[in-house]
Amino acid sequence: MTTKNKSNPDEVLIGLVSISDRASSGVYEDQGIPALRDWFTSALASPWKMETRLIPDERAAIEKALIELVDDMRCDLVLTTGGTGPARRDLTPEATLAVGTKEMPGFGEQMRQISLKFVPTAILSRQVAVIRETPDHAALIMNLPGQPKSIKETLEGLKDADGKQVVAGIFAAVPYCIDLIGGPYIETHEAVCKAFRPKSAIRQR
């Protein structure tokens, strides 16, 4: 079991939750958590740890996992993959909204804008983001797509052939959001994803 590193307050603890009936039952190998792990390994310059969950498309199980990761494990950021479409068992957004104390609609709006650059069916996605607060802790929870390629595009954004940012990925705003809710100061490798903060919020070295 992963726990917060009290000796290093800048270490970020990230919860990764893959939601899939078939992957959780062993029908096929989960791709969501490995894709997220690989992206954070390349993107984060700050020290970090992860806590993972692989669960079925069941609202009660999703809510339980999210609450446990924030309240008990004290994750600073929790990302889910899967279960955000219109199918009957796609209940990730409902579970996420149920455990949140504040909705952060801009993240879902931007995720759909990014995906619409590739497929018109992006409008079927119901991804949401929330803040979950307890008396002494808070975390950002976000729903991501289920496909590894889409996960990378959503977090990192779109770049042209010269590497210039065309559409901003959602992770550019995450470090400052974590600052505002009292979490660790997250730094990124700018070649992968440049974190944006107002000048007054940038830590002087």
Q: Is 34 within a domain?
A: yes
Q: Could you give the percent of the chain with pLDDT greater than 70?
A: 96
Q: Is 59 within a domain?
A: yes
| 7: confidence class by pLDDT, cuts 50, 70, 90 | low
DSSP element (H, E) containing 77:
strand 77-81
Q: Residue 109: pLDDT above 90?
A: yes
Number of structural domains found in the chain? 1
Q: Is 5 within a domain?
A: no
**Single pTM value for the model:** 0.94
Range of the domain at 122: 12-197
Query: What is the distance between the alpha carbons of residues 11 and 9, in angstroms, rounded to a whole number?
Result: 6
Query: What is the distance between the alpha carbons of residues 43 and 191, in angstroms, rounded to a whole number?
Result: 8
Q: Could you give the percent of the chain with pLDDT greater than 90?
A: 80
Q: Residue 25: pLDDT above 90?
A: no
Q: Is 204 within a domain?
A: no
pLDDT (0 to 100) of residue 151: 93
